[in-house]
Structure 1
Amino acid sequence: MKLPKAIWFGFSCIAIVVMLIIFLTPWTALTTGHIGLIMLALIVVAIMLGFPTAFTLMGMGVIFTFLAYILQAPEMTGKALNQTLTLMVQRTYATMTNDALISIPLFVFMGYLVERANLIEKLFRSLHLALARLPGALAIATLVTCAIFATATGIVGAVVTLMGLLAMPAMLKSGYSVKLTAGVITAGGCLGILIPPSVLLIVYGATTGTSVVKLYAGALLPGIGLAVLYAAYVMIVAKIWPDMAPPLSAKEREVALPAGSEAIKSQGYTLAATGLLSNFFKGPKNPAVTRQYMNRNALAVMLPLLITAFLSLVIYRVATEPKEVFEIPAELQLSSNLSGGGSGLAEPPSGLAEPPSSEPAAASVAAKEAAPAAAQEPAKGDATVERLPVPTGYWIYLGIAALIMLVFYVTLTWARLEVFKMLMGSFFPLAVLIGAVLGSIGFGLATPSEAAAMGALGGALLALAYGRLNLNVLKESTFLTAKTSAMVCWLFVGSSIFSAAFALLGGQKIIEDWVLSLGLTSLEFMLLAQILIFILGWPLEWTEIIVIFMPIFVPLLAQFNIDPLFFGLLVALNLQTAFLSPPVAMAAFYLKGVSPPHVTLNQIFLGMLPFMGIQILAIFLLYMFPAIGLWLPEVLYK
């Protein structure tokens, strides 16, 4: 019986790890630190053999913690056992009371609800039509859909699987190359690893003690930038090799118009705005143009202008709001002559004096009390109060917004109006949900846990609005959320116990001493760490890499003056690359499971390689220009 290549690869990796243990362990001068390193290697072997990660970590952690205590005092077995069990309880309790983990089940629940709201099909169709004139329109629509859906769910397997069912048949039917199709879907589906609200970033923040809020702010621009690089590559390929990404035919770009739009268009109005205005004021000349049709379409046409005007007003008021100056009243200020110029406070005068009874004196006191308030706060209704000068940036924004509105209405044909309405029913609800969740976190209005709760409620309301919220959907979403959350939480418990055992045995100290003895620069250490993480990304899941190996790397960052926030962004990009790198690219297996029979795993792997190269380029750009990831956190959280 011939074994599959994947199994041979797995056995080969296990054999390499076992041989490294045998040949690199100094058996004649074995210390507890070396036992810790053996434990680390055995964990990797056990996980590759298919043992449950969380319980393997816990089991190994408990066994080796007991071993660490018994080696310190061989004659006190009972005490070692008691210390081991106490440590296990303490680590479990500390993990379960970690506030950062509360947001994981809420974000996961939001993702499953959005997935079942059936928005992705409408979103893909509307984006497909909206981007029809771009080279590689179907592929770019797939990338944008993946990015939005990955942002809403953060679940890589769900995005790749659903887009494989939805976009792959449409792209192959339109003549797209199998390799390009597979690369676009797998690369777009993995964007959820990096783009907030990424569960990976929450796990990294909870493991390393890094602010999840800052991680979200830092990952936003690199995630969007990576999606833009993907889209640019697709457009270049479509221009140079049109046979790999054929342009859409006129029939595929055609949009069916309702009877009212056809009636107004037949009157000679090619633009939707002018046609609706004419019929609104002069009255409809065709029975197909009903009042309900007019109101619905007029609202759709005016909505961008109303939103732009509202945002402009809000920005104007914020930008020109007079700054409040708080003055401390004279009677509350500490006098420099207290106690004859000493540093202490003077004793209050003995006895209680009667308050003055004269009205002029009382009026004088009242006037003094009112003076600071009058200086700080102008009287209500005072028209002479001037706002701050309008910043130049506001006028630039206003000019750009006006230009965009002009272009929008000048190019808003009836077909584009229908596409815009489709986007309003699919893209904008998700955009509002994502913007509300990430905006509340980014501007400090809510913690990640509070924003996740708001997102879960928003996901439920979306599913309800689209008629998809029922008892079965709630049961499925709740079950899958509980399953995913339990896995992550038990991984944390196992990792915490394992890390304690590793530290007790001295494995962390050996690694730190070895790395520092190499005399590496910050760049060399960064390269070494990222290469190791990339290699570990082949046999291991990102959860295992974060919870097992990040506690080893992070203590070394201070020695090389590396920001844990910046390191976390590089790790997220790196692990996203590992998801696309053969031979153990999980995204490829997700897609293969829903692909047509003629699509082979090798074709999927070959299609993923260019996108993996783009990710390596993105890692290089992020390292060379750290401001890509650090600028937004610095602006928001000075």
Structure 2
Amino acid sequence: MTDPQVAILMLCMFIVLVLLGFPIAFTLLAMGVGFGYYAYYTDVPHTFADLFSNNIFYLLNQNTYSVMENDTLVAIPLFLFMGYVVERANIVDRLFFSLYMAARNLPGALAVAALLTCAVFSTASGIVGAVVTLMGLLAYPAMANAGYQRSFAAGVICAGGTLGILIPPSIMLIVYAAIGNLSPLRLYAAAVFPGLLLAGLYIVYVIVRVLINPSLAPKPRDEDVPPKRQIYLDLLISFVPLTVLIALVLGSILGGLATPAEAAAMGALGGLVLAAFYRSLTWDKVKQSVFLTAKATAMVCWLFVGSWTFASVFSFLGGHDIIKDWVEHMQLEPWQFLVLAQLIIFLLGWPLEWSEILIIFVPIFLPMLDHFGVNPYFFAMLVALNLQTSFLTPPMAMSAYYLKGVLKKQIELIEIFRGLMPYLAIVIFCMVLMYQFPGIALWLPDFLFGVYVP
């Protein structure tokens, strides 16, 4: 076999092993070292020490060091810690109830409140599993008790919970910035309007769907509505402090006052202050937040080490070149290239999660952007929208499994999948809108930081 053929075999084996359930980070690491040993093999080892003289071990060491010294990635543990602290601040239940009361006159008020809560909480947390799990425990029982259709309620929670990987400050965008060597500030600015647009389309869909079929979401009873003064007070207490924290973190980044890492540190401190404000700052909760942050950060770091080792070997064997040459020789128009790339990423979302797609497959397309004259930040936003589908597309659809895990026998998995389907169509519609009107993604970063020049 030629080296490029070995590279393609390497990629196919990775997909098969992931589908079989092997841990992603260590699968990448093992395959990178295994195939790298072949790729960098120079001479027959004569002693035991010669077995470890292969350059793959030097590459592994360098990649590990590069990940640990990457300044961009420092923001990840700090944003994670902020999210875990806010999650334990007992604010989400107040926020959901007050938003529900404020939106009670809208069709599907509980569903609208759930989406709004997901959008706000996702912005503060950015942890899809945490948002879907918490909202599954909080919002789904409320909707079920109010007579909402089960699949309709489940779809709302799963779709709303995934907004955290798109709306800044998003951990996914930090990872993308490191992979694509892009400015995280520009990525955050580019993601603001697409994130708000997608959340808005979800809310419009819910309202229109309930107007067409009111049986999906019965109206609340008048006796359950508290006085307006109490509603406003609840909104003031639950909504304003969290919104101010998010605005300070995001505003300091977009305003150029702080790097993402510095803003994340401020957000982590703000999360502790917020927890103290709600009288939920205890040693046990802080300890849990630190433990979960360390666990998630270690996973991300090993994922980077494994993926960069895998990608380095794949590229050394000629894998990137053969795919790049194949695409370029198809003589595609730029729009055809964008459709092909997004279609591949969408299909990969069926068996894989966003992290695998982003770290392994997106770098295959990045070197082709100059050839087709595609703005890398515009492409990043298309990918970020598309990656929403990796949480919503069966058979993986991790948001569905998160929800099923907390609801257990209250709902069947097929019902959750059925509730997700309309939101997949909305994501695709949002991508089409952004393609037709690129300013949705590019106007704000160009306004704040000047027009992008390659």
| Pair in the same fold by TM > 0.5 | yes
Deviations 1:257-309 (A, max 9, x none): xxxxxxxxxxxxxxxxxxxxxxxxxxxxxxxxxxxxxxxxxxxxxxxxxxxxx
Matched, 1:62 2:33: yes
2:440 & 2:55 partners in 1: Cα distance?
47
Secondary structure at the aligned position of 1:593 is classed as: helix
TM-score, with length taken from structure 1: 0.69
Q: Which residue of 2 aligns with 1:25?
A: none
State the shift of 1:82 in Å: 3.9
The CA RMSD over aligned residues, in Å, is 1.5
State the shift of 1:81 in Å: 3.0
Secondary structure at the aligned position of 1:597 is classed as: helix
1:537 & 1:206 partners in 2: Cα distance?
21
Matching residue within 142, 145, 160 for 1:188: 160
Q: Kindly indicate whether the alpha-carbon contact (under 8 Å) linking 1:66 and 1:81 is maintained by their aligned counterparts in 2.
A: no
2:26 & 2:396 partners in 1: Cα distance?
23
Q: Which residue of 1 aligns with 2:419?
A: 607
Secondary structure at the aligned position of 2:33 is classed as: helix
Matched, 1:419 2:391: no
Matches within 5 A, 1:4-83: 30-70=1-41, 73-74=42-43, 78=50, 81-83=53-55
Q: Kindly indicate whether the alpha-carbon contact (under 8 Å) linking 2:394 and 2:417 is maintained by their aligned counterparts in 1.
A: yes
Matched, 1:106 2:78: yes
State the shift of 1:463 in Å: 0.8
2:351 & 2:400 partners in 1: Cα distance?
14
Q: Which residue of 2 aligns with 1:434?
A: 246
Q: Which residue of 1 aligns with 2:214?
A: 242
Matching residue within 503, 520, 531 for 2:343: 531
TM-score, with length taken from structure 2: 0.96
Matched, 1:466 2:278: yes
Counterpart amino acid of 1:623?
Answer: Y
Deviations 1:169-228 (A, max 9, x none): 111111111121111111111111111111111111111111111111111111111111
Counterpart amino acid of 1:630?
Answer: L
Q: Kindly indicate whether the alpha-carbon contact (under 8 Å) linking 2:352 and 2:390 is maintained by their aligned counterparts in 1.
A: no
1:116 & 1:420 partners in 2: Cα distance?
23
Counterpart amino acid of 2:18?
Answer: I
Q: Kindly indicate whether the alpha-carbon contact (under 8 Å) linking 2:190 and 2:442 is maintained by their aligned counterparts in 1.
A: yes
Matching residue within 338, 342, 359 for 1:547: 359
Matched, 1:135 2:110: no
1:79 & 1:138 partners in 2: Cα distance?
63
Matched, 1:565 2:387: no
Q: Which residue of 2 aligns with 1:229?
A: 201
Q: Which residue of 1 aligns with 2:439?
A: 627
Deviations 1:355-408 (A, max 9, x none): xxxxxxxxxxxxxxxxxxxxxxxxxxxxxxxxxxxxxxxxxxxxxxxxxxxxxx
State the shift of 1:79 in Å: 9.6
Secondary structure at the aligned position of 2:310 is classed as: helix
Q: Which residue of 2 aligns with 1:508?
A: 320
Matches within 5 A, 1:317-466: 415-466=227-278
Matched, 1:589 2:421: no
1:594 & 1:69 partners in 2: Cα distance?
47
Secondary structure at the aligned position of 2:440 is classed as: helix
Q: Kindly indicate whether the alpha-carbon contact (under 8 Å) linking 2:95 and 2:238 is maintained by their aligned counterparts in 1.
A: yes
State the shift of 1:437 in Å: 0.3
Identity value in percent: 53
Inter-CA distance 249–203: structure 2 relative to 1 (3 Å threshold): same
Q: Which residue of 2 aligns with 1:124?
A: 96
Q: Which residue of 1 aligns with 2:295?
A: 483
Q: Which residue of 2 aligns with 1:211?
A: 183
Q: Kindly indicate whether the alpha-carbon contact (under 8 Å) linking 1:237 and 1:245 is maintained by their aligned counterparts in 2.
A: no
Q: Kindly indicate whether the alpha-carbon contact (under 8 Å) linking 1:69 and 1:80 is maintained by their aligned counterparts in 2.
A: no
Counterpart amino acid of 1:219?
Answer: A
Deviations 1:226-247 (A, max 9, x none): 1111111111122221111122
Q: Kindly indicate whether the alpha-carbon contact (under 8 Å) linking 1:66 and 1:80 is maintained by their aligned counterparts in 2.
A: no
Q: Kindly indicate whether the alpha-carbon contact (under 8 Å) linking 2:353 and 2:396 is maintained by their aligned counterparts in 1.
A: no
Q: Kindly indicate whether the alpha-carbon contact (under 8 Å) linking 1:136 and 1:247 is maintained by their aligned counterparts in 2.
A: yes
Q: Kindly indicate whether the alpha-carbon contact (under 8 Å) linking 2:351 and 2:395 is maintained by their aligned counterparts in 1.
A: no
Q: Which residue of 1 aligns with 2:61?
A: 89
1:547 & 1:582 partners in 2: Cα distance?
21
Matched, 1:158 2:130: yes
State the shift of 1:76 in Å: 7.8
Secondary structure at the aligned position of 1:243 is classed as: helix
1:236 & 1:62 partners in 2: Cα distance?
53
Counterpart amino acid of 1:516?
Answer: E
Consecutive unaligned residues in structure 2, runs of 5 or more: none
Secondary structure at the aligned position of 2:53 is classed as: helix
Q: Which residue of 1 aligns with 2:139?
A: 167
Matched, 1:495 2:318: no
Q: Radius of gyration: which is bigger?
A: 1
Matching residue within 138, 153, 176 for 2:148: 176
Q: Which residue of 2 aligns with 1:394?
A: none
Question: How many pairs does the alignment contain?
Answer: 447
Deviations 1:428-458 (A, max 9, x none): 0100000000000011010000000000000
1:151 & 1:564 partners in 2: Cα distance?
23
Counterpart amino acid of 1:169?
Answer: P
